[in-house]
Amino acid sequence: MTTPRSDALVFFGATGDLAYKQVFPALQAMIRDGGLDMPIIGVAHSGWTLKQLRQRARDSVAQAAKDSGNRFDKAAFAKLAACLQYVDGDYNDPATFAHLRNVLGKAKRPLHYLAIPPSLFGTVVKGLQQAGCADHARVVVEKPFGRDLASAQQLNRTLRSAFPEDSIFRIDHFLGKEAIMNILYFRFANSFLEPIWNRNCVASVQVTLAEDFGVEDRGPFYETAGCLRDVIQNHLLQIVALLAMEPPAYQGFGAVHSEKAKVFQAMRPLQPDDVVRGRYAGYRKEPGVAKDSDVETFCALRLFIDSWRWQGVPWYLRSGKCLAETAAEIRVDLKPPPQRLFDDSALADGRANYVRFRLSPNSAIALAARVKRAGQKFIGDQRELYLVEEQAGEEPPYERLLGDALAGDGALFTREDAVEAAWVVVDPVLETHHRALPYKRGSWGPKQADVLIAADGGWHNPKLERTRA
């Protein structure tokens, strides 16, 4: 059955930072590419006029064009400006939503994008429902989807009070990246992986998402979140789910969501000794940060998935700020051959073959295999065989995700049961944990994170340079 496309886009928080950095550039790109031709209604409580909003939009897309080295597209912006409308008002005032209902006019299936703090979700959802703006509508909410299991459950109850689950789109821009989507495709479009993609052949898996910069002007936000909530609970656990899930039973995003949820449900809840928390030198001096803050800017953890496929295989996840590189990478280490026929078959670092997914700053998938050197002796080298690299013309995440939400395609969004199951995994260590350990800027985090993974050969630190076979 064909899902009806939304016929209007309403975005709350139209004067905010997210709208400036992501939403306006995505909307202009969608208009330029022919994927958006409908009323676009910005809503905010800023005392602005429509003229001011259009100027803000122009500044946004002009800056985005400059940052990407492109020219400002006057024709595309003229179309965006013509579609733009504005509703200014207090989210606690029913008159704001009554005005919105009037501005929507003949639109019967609006998409409401809540680019606002989660604390306002309940207020806005209630206002939409009371004004009749939620009827036959869809809603998009930005992460974080709660701060813990209890708040996530409350958020889901709030959303479900006005919208059915298939009309709720929990957006995480990370899932819209081409490299993340390729994990799912690579796993299930190829048959050679399946025989080895399990506890019999996989020794361990590690996932790294590193940034070489600090919290910058986001100190107050980071004090309420920390690395575990901001990155591990959503981005990295979503990656784990894509790597660990069983083959979907049928073609469709519903089947993918079901298998991802099963992975979260099979994860063993974390305990304090499974987690190493760190804080980069100087974090407590950042604006908006408490002088005695124990918030982590680095987090490494050891995770187990108690399923038939992955029983006993350790998964190591880490992320942090002010690290040595800005990169995201997955490494799936395979077990060595059962018999050592050649003296050099065990690598100097103790690692056997592996599969590597580079997610950023460039994307690639590589297989590492040993190849014999020329000569009489049975001595070889481990070489990486590149399968795919960065491709031109990749669609930016927000453009893709907003387009999918308008079309009712939930493939790249997160479902209610998966959100709550992921919180179950991290909930035990959100408040009960060891103190954050200091680490030097430009390092790979506190040394205790190395101890966590020592039994499995240590961390593989992503390097921006690459060698090819």
What the block records as the tokens of 133 is 């703006």
Q: Concatenated DSSP letters for 298-336?
A: EEEEEEEB-STTTTT-EEEEEEESSBS--EEEEEEEEPP
Q: Is 235 a catalytic residue?
A: yes
Tokens of 212: 């070489």
In whole angstroms, give the CA distance from residue 112 to residue 100: 11
DSSP state of 120: G
d(CA 130, CA 113): 17
Name residues whose C-beta falls within 8 Å of residue 22's C-beta, 6 or more positions apart in sequence: 173, 398
Q: Which of 45, 112, 235, 433 is catalytic?
A: 235
Strand partners, 84: 40
Nearest CA to 221 out of 300, 289, 122 is that of: 289
Amino acid identity of residue 92, one-letter, is N
Which helix (H) or strand (E) segment is 239 a member of?
helix 237-244
Rounded CA separation 461/458 (Å): 9
Give dist(CA 66, CA 421) in Å, integer. Answer: 41
Alpha helices in 304-447 (DSSP H): 397-407, 416-430
Structure tokens at 429: 């260590």
Question: What positions carry a catalytic annotation?
Answer: 235
